[in-house]
Amino acid sequence: MPVTDSPDAARNTGATAERILFLLKTRGPLKTADLGAMLNITPEAARQQVQKLVDGAMIVGCLMPPVGAGRPSQKWVLTDAAQARFPNTHAQLTAQLIDSIKLIYGNEGIDKVVESMELANTREYVAACEQGRTLQEKVQLLVGIRDTAGYMASMEAEGDNWLIIENHCPICVAAQQCQGFCRAELQVFQAAIGDCGQVERTEHMIAGSRRCVYRVTPA
């Protein structure tokens, strides 16, 4: 019997496929060779995994523009079906609630909901980030809160600045219907960082980016 028919092999294959989806979610478009290197599997194994995901409509190839004098290269990106595998907090219920609030209370009702959530989150985030003594520590604490909340958050240094990177948005449906949620998030981040730095959003999923990125500049 071929090894791939064994239960253990099937589980390993499924785990590898999930890791590929996770890499494409957090790293963006990648070539088959990139995936193989990151997963420490052979090029042939990487091709087989990619083909299975293509057949399952989980990923699709896209032609990326050349870098410098190079030629265009094919990289893999997640389909909408694959994106839906990542948690989107009660998306349908959220959409229905927003529609109901608008119908009964109008846009003013939505504004009050956003304001209430902003106040609650500001209290929580400020209390947590006050424990940080430096800008880096405050950013680390903020990223920890966001990652726990399902935003697949991480931080990177950018010279003297810090980048807060969120590869997933569990409230995307709500944000698409009311961008007040996004405005409120930015203000909550600024409140959490306080006088230590200035927060600006440089990439935005709602605007078409694959992730949300915030730059935190020292004061």
Q: What is the pLDDT along the chain (219 residues), one digit of tens a residue?
A: 333 444 444 456 678 999 999 899 888 889 999 999 999 999 999 999 999 999 999 999 988 776 666 777 889 998 888 888 887 666 677 788 888 998 999 989 999 999 999 999 999 999 999 999 999 999 999 999 999 888 999 999 999 999 999 999 988 888 888 889 999 999 999 999 999 999 999 999 999 999 999 999 999
Q: In what helix (H) or strand (E) does residue 155 lie, and over which residues does it extend?
A: strand 153-158
From the list 146, 212, 154, 135, the residue with the least C-alpha distance to 179 is: 212
Buried b (16+ CB within 10 A) or exposed e, 67-96: eeeeeeeebbbbeeebbeebebeebeebee
pTM of the complete model: 0.73
Enumerate the domain spans of the chain: 3-83, 91-218
* Residue 89 dihedral angles phi and psi, to the nearest 5°: -50, 105
Is 197 exposed, middle or buried (CB count within 10 Å of its CB: 0-12, 13-18, 19+)? buried
Q: CB within 8 A of 218, min separation 6: which ones?
A: 135, 160, 161, 196, 197
Could you say which architecture CATH assigns to the domain 91-218? 2-Layer Sandwich (3.30)
d(CA 25, CA 41): 19
Residue 189 · residue 142 · CB < 8 Å = yes
Could you say which architecture CATH assigns to the domain 3-83? Orthogonal Bundle (1.10)
